[in-house]
């Protein structure tokens, strides 16, 4: 029993160390909002030397992986009031479909944290791809007048992806993909008779229906699905779009 306890403790230690955020490869996972930043991570931070970089300083990485059907990504930070005005430097990257060989910088900026009022930033990306990794790189403040622990304890990080129906319905290129849902099928207009692929996922991300080859029909049989919320993903050779629907 003692050996088992030691093994569990050692495993937990390895898990925590793998999420230290000191490099982009072991970035700290965020799905929603972290209410305060762990000052220990920043005290132990080193310069990852990942290029491109905004400034030369120690840094910590955070990561969010987009879910199936998500089409909108929100990344942000918010800091409470401090005793002296200071800037928080940050950088945002994306690895499409999780491919680190295609890592792209999206933003390199800073926000000011003011005395009394604090400060924040929010970065929103529309029409995102599912299963992509977004990274937030936060640089350690080098301002000697700032109490780092006070700054970080009052700082939250938000990284979340979700489905925004307005992004699907306003895309003129996908006008032919408008659809209606009944208890038996999904009927959609395919004005150009374009060969399509479809996949349907449960809200938990499990694939429950899909076509095995391109089809030119205008209805998908969903009679076998239980009542619930699902994601329909339609695609052709040029574009792909996800829609959320409810099976009664």
pLDDT tens-digit series, residues 79-132:
998 888 999 999 999 999 899 999 999 999 999 999 888 999 999 998 888 889
Q: Of the ranges 31-40, 141-150, 152-161, 173-182, which is most confident? A: 152-161
Q: Is the peptide bond before 181 cis (omega within 30 degrees of 0)?
A: no
Q: Which of 52-56, 81-85, 155-159, 238-242 is least confident?
A: 238-242
The pLDDT tens digits of the residues spanning 131-166 come to: 899 999 999 987 777 888 888 889 999 999 988 766
Whether the predicted pLDDT of 173 surpasses 60: no
In whole angstroms, give the CA distance from residue 148 to residue 141.
Answer: 7
In whole angstroms, give the CA distance from residue 170 to residue 38.
Answer: 41
Whether the predicted pLDDT of 169 surpasses 60: no
Pairing of strands 133-139, 155-162: unpaired
Q: How far is CA 65 from CA 23, 46, 52, 95, 230, in A?
A: 17, 24, 21, 10, 19
* 7-31 mean pLDDT: 67
CB 27 within 8 A of CB 63: yes
Q: Can you give the pLDDT at residue 99?
A: 92
How would residue 214 be classed by pLDDT, with cut points 50, 70 and 90?
low
User: Nearest Cα to 88, choosing from 40, 139, 154, 47?
Assistant: 139
Q: Can you give the pLDDT at residue 3?
A: 52
How would residue 187 be classed by pLDDT, with cut points 50, 70 and 90?
confident
Angle at the Cα of 128 from the Cα atoms of 246 and 169, rounded to 5 degrees: 45
Cα dihedral sign for 15, 17, 18, 19? positive
What the chain holds in terms of domains, given with CATH numbers, is 21-162 (2.60.120), 166-247 (2.60.40.3080)
Q: Can you give the pLDDT at residue 5?
A: 47
């Amino acid at each position: 029993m003692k050996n088992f306890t030691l093994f569990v403790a050692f495993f937990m230690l390895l898990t925590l160390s793998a999420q230290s955020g000191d490099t982009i490869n072991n970035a700290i996972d965020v799905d929603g909002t972290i209410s305060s930043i762990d000052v220990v991570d920043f005290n132990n931070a080193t310069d990852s030397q990942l290029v491109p970089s905004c400034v030369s300083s120690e840094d910590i990485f955070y990561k969010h992986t987009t879910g199936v059907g998500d089409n909108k990504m929100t990344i942000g930070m918010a800091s409470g009031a401090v005793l002296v005005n200071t800037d928080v430097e940050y950088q945002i990257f994306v690895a499409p479909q999780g491919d680190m060989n295609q890592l792209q910088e999206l933003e390199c900026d800073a926000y000011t944290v003011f005395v009394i009022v604090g400060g924040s930033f929010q970065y929103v990306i529309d029409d995102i791809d599912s299963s992509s990794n977004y990274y937030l790189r936060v640089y350690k403040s080098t301002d000697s007048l700032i109490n780092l622990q006070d700054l970080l304890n009052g700082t939250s990080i938000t990284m979340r992806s979700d489905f925004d129906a307005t992004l699907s319905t306003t895309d003129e290129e996908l006008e032919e993909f408008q659809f209606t849902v009944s208890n038996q099928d999904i009927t959609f207009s395919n004005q150009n008779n374009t060969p399509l692929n479809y996949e349907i996922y449960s809200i938990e991300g499990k694939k429950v229906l899909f076509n095995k080859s391109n089809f030119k029909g205008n209805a998908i049989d969903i009679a076998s699905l239980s009542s619930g919320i699902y994601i329909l993903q339609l695609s052709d050779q040029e574009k792909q779009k996800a829609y959320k629907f409810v099976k009664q």
